[in-house]
Structure formats: structure tokens, C-alpha cells
Structure 1
Amino acid sequence: VDWNLNLETVIAISDSNIEGSKSTLIKRIQLILANEEKWSLRFVPSRTNKIADALAKMALLNDEVLYMFENPCKN
């Protein structure tokens, strides 16, 4: 796992212009990061966190729609 690449990605998202982003998910991430005084990163393999993996794939595939789930999938 390239930890530096993951950290660089989060820093790039947090530093990017909210108005310029087309992805609703990226905008939500930016707002969360901006409102937290401190935050930390922890690597979780996609096979163990299928919800986060699915959200990341949705953000890459679709810039228009954000799907919100009340209850996580059990798959």
C-alpha cells in the first residue's frame, strides 16, 4: 500500500476548490474535512470495507449523483 499516495489524495481533496468540483461526494468530503479541527487516516482494505469501496467507485464513475444509505448493505 502506498501510504503517501493515499495521504496526498486526501490533502488534494481537502485543498481543492469546492466550487470547481463536480462530484457531490467530493464536496461532502471537503466539507467534513474543513469542519474538523483534527483528522487522521487509517488504511482499511476494500475487501473489509465494502461500503467505502463502493462509495469511492461511485465518486469516480458518476459526478452527478450521491447515494445515501440509512442501513449498510450486509453483503
Structure 2
Amino acid sequence: GDDRAMCFTCSVCLVCWEPTDEPWSEHERHSPNCPFVKGEHTQNVPLSVTLATSPAQFPCTDGTDRIACFGSGSCPHFLAAA
């Protein structure tokens, strides 16, 4: 069905979810030896870290926009954000 969820570590695939099912509890129940469930080190990187450390993207269609922006010293695409 469309309600399929697969663990990135142990590859257990859970389907046929009920409205009251809790994903973590179901994962523990069906795959108790999963390293992720057991709290062991995995290659998982939280999305917030991935987005915060990914390279900035410059929204331009060709190199001339980029050259003009850098050459002017002020570019609306490079505003600092916290």
C-alpha cells in the first residue's frame, strides 16, 4: 500500500498502518535487533544538519548573472540569515 515505511538501517518494511500505530514502537516490535532501534551508531545524519552544512545554491540561469552579482559587491541572493 501507500503507507509503506522502510528503515534505512535494517530494511524492515512496515505496511498496513492503523491510525493508532506508533512508528517507533512498531519498528522496535518488528525489528528489535536493528542498530538504529538499539541506539547504536549508524550513518544517519539528521536533515537539519544536512541542510545546514550543504553548499549554498546560487539561483541563476547562466554565468553572466553570477558575474554581475559578484562584481557589484551587493547581491540580494547573499543576505546573511541566522
TM range (shorter): under 0.3
The structure whose residues are more often helix, as a share, is 1
* Structure of larger gyration radius: 2
Instruction: Name the structure where strand makes up a greater proportion of residues.
Output: 2
TM-score if structure 1 supplies the norm length?
0.18
Higher RCO structure, 1 or 2 (CA under 8 Å, sep 6+): 1
Give the TM-score of the pair, scaled to structure 2. 0.18
